[in-house]
Structure 1
């Protein structure tokens, strides 16, 4: 149900943004095409393993790149690495489903919402590949799925921005075991180009 709510919210934001953009709001002056965005983020993630009563929570880093295709659409790529349960219990009675690290790489499209010159909220969807390793796993587990991306950046200058990003990962090929995975982080980025 939570996944459905997230999809509906993202669709609503995109629909609202299209209406605002069609109304001649002038986003092109704020986010011209041809701009490159490269940045780094740090934050926390939460992984829910089906056979574990508590969530696996831990810190990590994110590296992201975006290219502004039009004044509203951008290509996005992102890699993240999170430690989700540093001191995971091990033993013969513990299920072999509990990783201590989750690494994800995603590529997709984003939509920049038209609000103000300094604040740049966005949403997007990426196709992802995820590797879960360590902990009680006998081998690395690979999962493929999609990632819902939302966030907001604040342009400090025309070349530097800071912001907050939230990601909901849907590990579609392993969803029965890894029922939910979320990440949120603060980020900074350098912007260059046209």
Structure 2
């Protein structure tokens, strides 16, 4: 029996289809992220006071495109003799079908500007200036596996004027790492 000339053609077509077939997209809802970051912080207050800060965050995948966010952060600004403490919550739009995961969101929270210089006595500024803030978090994470990711996280915060003095806006840029679980 003579071999069919269609067999090599069929095999080549199947191999080409296997190579060109789309890979599975991994977008996860109900996924948790817990992590920490460290990096640069900048206060805008008549002058710019750079500092170093850190944050911890917890994220939950509401859908495959939206995450709920909670973040605690702190930063020390020696040039302005200030320390910033913050707690915020919000949501982010996430493009999580790639190994590189970009996101952008909106958060609101409470911030405290703590004076490290002499404060609180007569003629001195208050030691604490509690403020409400609205922020835009953004970033890019790289997922090494379903359990671990690293990335860059930035956040611009606009602080609502309060009774005390303090900065009007705040910017952070952190390198971060996070653990992932739940699918």
**Structures share fold, TM-score greater than 0.5:** yes
Alignment of 1:81 onto 2:62: no
Can you list the C-alpha shifts for 1:149-189, whole angstroms capped at 9, x where unaligned? 00000001111000001100110234985232100000000
Structure 2: runs of 5 or more not aligned: 1-21, 118-124
Aligned pairs, how many? 153
Instruction: State the superposition RMSD in angstroms.
Output: 2.2
Which structure 1 residue ranges, 5 or more long, are not aligned? 1-25, 89-97
Higher strand residue share: 2
Match of 1:15 in 2: none
Partner of 1:165: 153
Higher helix share goes to which structure? 1
Q: Distance in 2 between matches of 1:68 and 1:31?
A: 10
Q: Which has the larger radius of gyration?
A: 2
| From 179, 182, 192, the counterpart of 2:181 | 192
Where 1:173 maps in the other structure, the secondary structure is coil
Instruction: Check conservation: 1:31, 1:68, Cα contact below 8 A.
Output: no
CA deviation string 1:120-152 (max 9, x = no partner) = 000011111001102344321000020100000
TM-score, normalised on structure 2?
0.77
Q: Which moved more, 1:116-125 or 1:134-143?
A: 134-143
Alignment of 1:1-194 (within 5 A): 29-50=25-46, 54-85=47-78, 88=79, 98-113=80-95, 117-136=98-117, 137-174=125-162, 177-194=166-183
